[in-house]
Amino acid sequence: MKTFSPGLSDSIASVIADPRPCPHCDSSSHIAGGLCVGCLLEAGLDPADEGESETLTGILAEVNLPDQNWRLGNYEILEEIGRGGMGVIYRARQRHSRRIVAVKRVLSYHSDSRETLARFRREAQAAASLDHPNILPIYEVSESEDGLPFFSMKFAPGGTLQQVAPALRNEPRQCVAIVAKIARAVQYAHSRGILHRDLKPGNILLDARHHLRHPRLHRPRTSQPFRRRAQTHRRHLQPRRHPLRPPRRPPPFPRRPRPLRHPPGRRIPRP
């Protein structure tokens, strides 16, 4: 029977910063309690050792607990509020002003993808350049200690339009007002060369009074600068008329079909 260290009081952040050797196999560990992944799996798959199963349960419970001391730059991370294919969004508290903000950070497994990191930075800078009453402002664009980019923005506690949509079914005037605000925000973004590619109710946030704050133009895969060059091949384009040439109009009466010509000197008799 293997004996594991019962000390599980270290925070996740401190263990990641200072990995310790596993007490059983001496391999480097990044998990709370100093246990390597192999020993954890072996303990969890062995139903005979009840002590090891209890140890595994305790470790997993601690890993799932939020680390209240985790900081990202000048922000104290409070909880996770959203996750996508490229980034994760946290509710955080700014260290000096103590105001509640939303922080979006690129996922750690994208750290080796230069293209993904460059696209995240480009989208953050594009969103920060927008200034519209129905688009949430970007406060800061920065990088964490491990080199992963993140940015902070105004926190919208009213949820998404998708969440409040059932309550708006009998409010046509309010629905029209919301659609008008969305259209004005999107038109402003288009005028600045920003294109939203995933506009849907789940990406539209509301403030505490359920007023539209912004379509999320910063979401992953949603904002890219307009390409000035056309993406359509020339043979697929509609032909253009010369400005000095009169338009071609159809004849006022249908043309009679021309007779088919046979060998020289012979024609098909007309009916």
Phi, psi of 55, deg, nearest 5: -65, -45
CA dist 203 and 263 (Å) reads 72
Identify the residue whose tokens are 């105001």.
Answer: 99
Long-range contacts (CB closer than 8 Å, 24 or more residues apart) made by 37-42 = 39/2, 39/4, 42/2
Q: Which residue segments constitute the domains of the chain, with CATH numbers given?
A: 12-64 (no CATH), 71-225 (1.10.510.10)
Confidence at residue 139, expressed as pLDDT on a 0 to 100 scale = 92
For residue 17, give both structure tokens: 């910063």
For residue 147, give both structure tokens: 């080199």
CA dist 195 and 151 (Å) reads 19
Confidence at residue 20, expressed as pLDDT on a 0 to 100 scale = 63
CA dist 143 and 128 (Å) reads 15
148 neighbors 105 (Cβ within 8 angstroms): yes
Q: Does 146 participate in catalysis according to the annotation?
A: no
Candidate list 46, 67, 198, 207, residue with the active-site label? 198
pLDDT digit string (tens) for the chain, length 271 residues: 444 344 433 444 444 455 566 666 665 554 545 556 666 666 655 555 555 555 555 555 444 444 445 788 889 999 888 887 788 899 999 988 889 999 999 888 787 788 888 888 888 888 888 999 888 899 999 988 888 899 999 998 888 888 888 988 899 998 999 899 999 999 999 998 888 777 888 888 887 665 555 544 444 344 444 444 444 444 445 555 555 666 666 666 666 666 655 555 555 556 5
For residue 225, give both structure tokens: 């600068």
Report the 10 Å Cβ neighbour count for 62: 18
For residue 176, give both structure tokens: 């029209």
**Model-level pTM greater than 0.95?**
no
Contacts of 142 (CB under 8 A, 6+ apart): 73, 149, 150, 151
The torsion angle over the Cα atoms of residues 167, 170, 174 and 177, rounded to 10 degrees, is: 110
